Amino acid sequence: MPPTDITLDEARSPVVETISDCLGRGDPEAPSGNVGVRIDAERVAISPSGIPYHEIGPGDVPIVDLDDEVLEGELPPSSEPPMPTTVYRHRVDVGGIVHVHSPYATTFASLRRGIDPVHYLIAFAGKGVPVAPYARNGTAAIGRMAAETMGDRTVVLLRSNGGVATGPALDDTPTVGSRVEYRTRIEWQASLLGEPELIDDELDAFIDYFREYREAPWAVGRIRPTRPARLAPPRATAAPEPRCSPRRRRRTAPGR
């Protein structure tokens, strides 16, 4: 189980930061969803409902137990708490969960189409991403379907809903989700031009590589550390890697 010796403030702050990175840019086309982080064996901090993403502060984040009972906080939790809490009950190795209705992954989920291994970045999620059977959001059934379909993978698609990405800590989770969304877009674009080829034979090596990446000393036991150096230093001109989806750059007048 991920380390749990954190305070409520230490759990709530990364929830707010992840919401800001992934959901809270005030963009009407930005994906919606929810975020959760495990505090200990019995408690979870989960994003609230009934408040715009960009207005959420640490004190607004409710604390719930694994039976979905609110333990602390004035705002109600996300309308889908049975989904993350069920995953937490089934997977003691999961510390962070991000559920996002990102456009490409949600398109595949709506088609009941899983994500195939046509690009090596799928290894972040395993050998592919399956689609869980449909269940209405906010019910115990959707959590059960998500946990059972995910198995020991890190990502699952929810039919006609969106995607669920998990990680040992919340800081890992948006990266997994963004790479799956990117990889889903690649498969979609490739399928418009032809039949994408699978790379099944190479996946075990990539899965081992990414496992070592995640288990490196700087990646163990963190909730929101300073971002570590990459395994291979990027070129000085490289753009920073997006966490969930690229932010829109504000246009400025010439000369500014």
Instruction: Compute, in degrees rounded to 10, the torsion defined by CA atoms 216, 217, 221, 223.
Output: -80
Domain hosting 147: range is 8-219
pLDDT for the residue numbered 204: 86
pLDDT for the residue numbered 9: 83
Mean pLDDT by 10 residues, the chain (256 residues): 68 90 60 89 93 91 94 90 90 93 93 92 87 92 94 93 91 83 93 90 83 57 39 45 49 47
pLDDT for the residue numbered 29: 53
Q: Reply yes or no on whether 80 is catalytic.
A: yes
pLDDT for the residue numbered 223: 38
- Output phi, psi for 129, to 5 deg: -120, 120
In a domain, residue 36? The reply is yes
In a domain, residue 233? The reply is no
Give the CATH number of the domain where residue 172 resides: 3.40.225.10
Tell me which of 17, 80, 181, 187 is the catalytic residue.
80
Count of other CB atoms within 10 angstroms of residue 199: 16
In a domain, residue 2? The reply is no
Pairing type for strands 155-158 and 131-132 reads: parallel
pLDDT for the residue numbered 254: 47
Q: 61 near 73, Cβ under 8 Å? A: yes
Distance CA 19, CA 124 (A): 21
pLDDT for the residue numbered 5: 60
In a domain, residue 13? The reply is yes
Q: What is the tally of structural domains in the chain? A: 1
SS (H, E, C) 152-175: CCCEEEECCCEEEEEECCCCCHHH
Q: 181 near 130, Cβ under 8 Å? A: no
pLDDT for the residue numbered 66: 93
In a domain, residue 1? The reply is no
In a domain, residue 172? The reply is yes
- Output phi, psi for 201, to 5 deg: -65, -25
In a domain, residue 246? The reply is no
pLDDT for the residue numbered 10: 84
Count of other CB atoms within 10 angstroms of residue 64: 24
In a domain, residue 22? The reply is yes
